[in-house]
């Protein structure tokens, strides 16, 4: 990897290299925006039709990821919430980023022993805090600044990324999302947030069965399929549902829901990922 980076830097030059590096970091750490809350209604063995259009309009186009998981009979494993925001020009030093990271760690209640790593060099300043809060949620906070200067014009681009993983408390998706929104409100920023809910079912499902589950989920949230990948025993489908308020654009198409499935032979379980607007973790 080091040799590859050296080659790139020789070809494109230091300024372009740093810009490309910023894009790479942003791709790895920054997640896209969403807005998800809501509920569905169970009736006997399944769900009632997903609201009438008047109710959706009056109460907001919302749908519960937990109910989607339960609808297909999968057990919730964990929830992953990711948020990012671009920082202002005031965050230009490692001290500035450390103060912000410490403020976030206190807000989210990180306690006991936790990791606090600061690094600076090659035009990049980064501070990372990672620990567990009182709700046994793993909280990761990353603040970083990249020098994208051109010629003699010094320019820094700074970002903050917060990731919360809930395995124990089974906190509601909307509650977890709200806590992140509140923090970014306190520092005057509007965060982009995405959520991924992971569930599993005992045993192995065939590719055809997994496709059937994904299609059934899309049908119940009135989602139109926009993209799909099938690779061996892995399937991923992205689409657009009118039940979600916000979306992203992918290849010129609107996307606000993604589902994926894969069998894990070691655990002997079939896993289901539901992401809004996309899945933000490795499947």
Summarised one tens digit per residue, pLDDT across range 173-203 is 888 989 999 999 999 999 999 999 999 999 9
Q: How confident is the model at residue 151 (pLDDT cuts 50, 70, 90)?
A: low
Quote the pTM value.
0.77
- Phi and psi for 21 in degrees, rounded to 5? -65, -40
Q: What percent of the chain has pLDDT over 70?
A: 77
Q: What percent of the chain has pLDDT over 90?
A: 58
The predicted pLDDT at position 22 comes to 44
């Amino acid at each position: 990897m080091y040799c590859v980076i050296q080659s790139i830097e020789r070809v494109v030059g230091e300024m372009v290299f740093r810009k490309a590096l910023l894009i790479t970091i942003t791709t790895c750490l920054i997640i896209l925006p969403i807005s998800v809350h809501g509920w569905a209604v169970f009736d006997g063995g399944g769900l009632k039709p997903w609201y009438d259009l008047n109710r959706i309009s009056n109460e907001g186009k919302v749908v519960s990821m937990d109910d989607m998981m339960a609808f297909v009979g999968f057990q919730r494993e964990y929830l992953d919430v990711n948020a990012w925001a671009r920082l202002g020009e005031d965050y230009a030093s490692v001290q500035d980023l450390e103060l912000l990271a410490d403020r976030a760690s206190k807000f989210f209640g990180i306690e006991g022993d936790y990791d606090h790593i600061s690094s600076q060099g090659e035009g990049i300043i980064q501070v990372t805090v990672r620990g567990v809060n009182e709700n046994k949620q793993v909280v990761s906070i990353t603040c970083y600044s990249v020098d994208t200067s051109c010629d003699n014009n010094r320019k820094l681009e700074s970002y903050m990324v917060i990731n919360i993983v809930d395995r124990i408390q089974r906190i509601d998706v909307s509650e977890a999302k709200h806590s992140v929104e509140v923090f970014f409100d306190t520092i005057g920023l509007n965060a982009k947030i995405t959520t991924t809910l992971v569930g599993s079912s005992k045993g192995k499902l065939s590719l055809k069965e997994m496709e059937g589950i994904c299609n059934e989920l899309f049908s119940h949230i009135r989602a139109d399929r926009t993209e799909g990948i099938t690779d061996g025993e892995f399937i991923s489908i992205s689409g657009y549902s009118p039940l979600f308020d916000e979306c992203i654009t992918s290849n010129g198409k609107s996307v606000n829901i993604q589902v994926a499935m894969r069998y894990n032979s070691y655990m002997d379980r079939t896993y289901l990922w539901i992401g809004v607007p996309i899945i933000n973790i490795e499947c």
